[in-house]
Structure 1
């Protein structure tokens, strides 16, 4: 009961800090809220007895990034606007969020986290730093990092066998879309994050129920399990007609409407390369016959319901397309 209360309190603090930062126009206050969100996540990591080293690594990385961010923001506000300052500030944000080329810490830490903590870092822990990125950096400054994150995330996702590390690279692949959406509007960012979080929750629930620590275990699963896992990942990658497609379509539509053609072309090109690489890696799993394994009926029903959710929760987003 005590642990449940601790988790509940931590979640309240994280949600509250992210909501407040959306309304804040003060740099110092925004930075403080971002730090509250980061620090409040540490108690969730400490629930695992094996997490002391990884928790310290996470804390050090976040502390270094946060210290550089607040220092650069103050210098920027005072008098300095040179390119080196902006490069350091951009690098600090990349380290904080795990964008390319500062993504090295994410797969290592993800591999020791619980699935639920992986979900937290991939979703709610991204909101505050992404909002600050949109308020301090011009979109053109981070184009290269965004597109490399798409490509590197997809290539490593294709090569990765461990499911938790796969979640880290899925997060890396999705961050450019998150950042593009928040540059367009906060409403679009909320739409994208809601969809992304929901699909991640389904995927993580499936992985938890199957106790799947490695994607190699999928070879021994039933065909239904394979389809459910792969469809969830494909939905996150943004292929139609899955739920993850329309938020990305809305991002592309807004990029076009705002005449950000170069960014649009780069994101589309990177996404096509990434999706083709991912398709090749998934093809073998579709063609492989499963071993004879009995399916738990209740689990089967649950998985079918989640698949229906992924496909049919796309409908509310259709109206948003016509609204624009």
Structure 2
């Protein structure tokens, strides 16, 4: 187990690697920043007394190393064709290879095979970093290598796999992983026209994901059975758990609907109706299994304990969770009032 000083060192290096990548003027510096980010995240995920975290760290390292190799290979090809003045014929193909490497780093479909497995082996705190901060640099870099037809394909694959993948999941970590894959499709859709929209979407996604995962981490919840089969969870506690989850799924009138509203409005202005219909229909499947879980949790309340765990809420945690729940429920109302008065 790492000491707090070492954790702070690796976290600062993680932040530094991302800043190097997004502020670089050359692709070689981008690759170097991504490698610094990777090598600082691996020690945070590894635990000597936990076989699952070590396995997840190894899988994450191998996948990211493969993506970095493809990224470096595409940069070398780019330099080679520029030197020989052959760029006109190969520009779109190299952009597609480069975008594929960056999509693999984020866990976007069809390069998502590693993401649920890695999340299943990590604790909730490391999952927060993997779902939020580790996506910042690759998504920003994706905006520099636009390839519309390939992006359309990746967006549709992400919303499809993210929706169907979470249908029969009982592990909350895998459920959040497939939800993240679905949200990645919406984020990349925001890059197609207006880069500010995906930033707004990403901020809302980070806020809702962090609020849900902090709650799961405080209650030590990893599986759905821990919610269904515990008499400790009364109606108020289940409300605190599932309303942010429904907000993350984009159910109106909760806060999570606002970024999806922006993406829908943007795609309609671009006349991308086929892509919009696919995204909405398959996101409804994601919302369906959130509603199914919530419906079952509110109705099933029996006194069989499959896990014996305890949790404690001090006044500070109660205030934090109350604030997060309030924002998740009434955030969309305040945003609309802000636009009305402004």
TM-score bin, normalised by smaller chain? 0.7 to 0.9
Stretch of structure 1 that moved more, 213-222 or 286-295: 286-295
1:252 deviation in Å? 2.0
1:204 deviation in Å? 1.0
Partner of 1:137: 146
1:75 maps to which of 46, 57, 77: 77
Q: Which runs of 5+ in 2 are unaligned?
A: none
Judge conservation of contact 1:139–1:183 (CA < 8 Å) in 2. yes
SS at match of 2:265: helix
CA distance in 1, matches of 2:11, 2:280: 35
Q: Which runs of 5+ in 1 are unaligned?
A: none
2:227 maps to which of 215, 218, 228: 218
2:253 maps to which of 234, 241, 256: 241
Cα 1:292–1:111, aligned 2, differ >3 Å: closer, same or farther?
closer
Q: CA RMSD in A?
A: 3.1
Q: Give the TM-score of the pair, scaled to structure 2.
A: 0.82
Q: Does residue 271 of structure 1 match 2:291?
A: no
CA offsets, 1:33-74, max 9 Å, x none?
222222221121135542333322211110011111121133
Q: Give the TM-score of the pair, scaled to structure 1.
A: 0.86
Cα 1:82–1:15, aligned 2, differ >3 Å: closer, same or farther?
closer
1:24 deviation in Å? 3.6
1:84 deviation in Å? 6.0
Cα 1:19–1:258, aligned 2, differ >3 Å: closer, same or farther?
farther
1:232 deviation in Å? 1.6
Partner of 2:134: 125
SS at match of 1:111: helix
CA offsets, 1:268-321, max 9 Å, x none?
232234323543454322322354999967479444443113223445643786
Q: Does residue 38 of structure 1 match 2:50?
A: no
Judge conservation of contact 1:155–1:277 (CA < 8 Å) in 2. no
Superposition map of 1:142-157 within 5 A: 142-157=151-166
SS at match of 2:9: helix
CA distance in 1, matches of 2:314, 2:225: 24
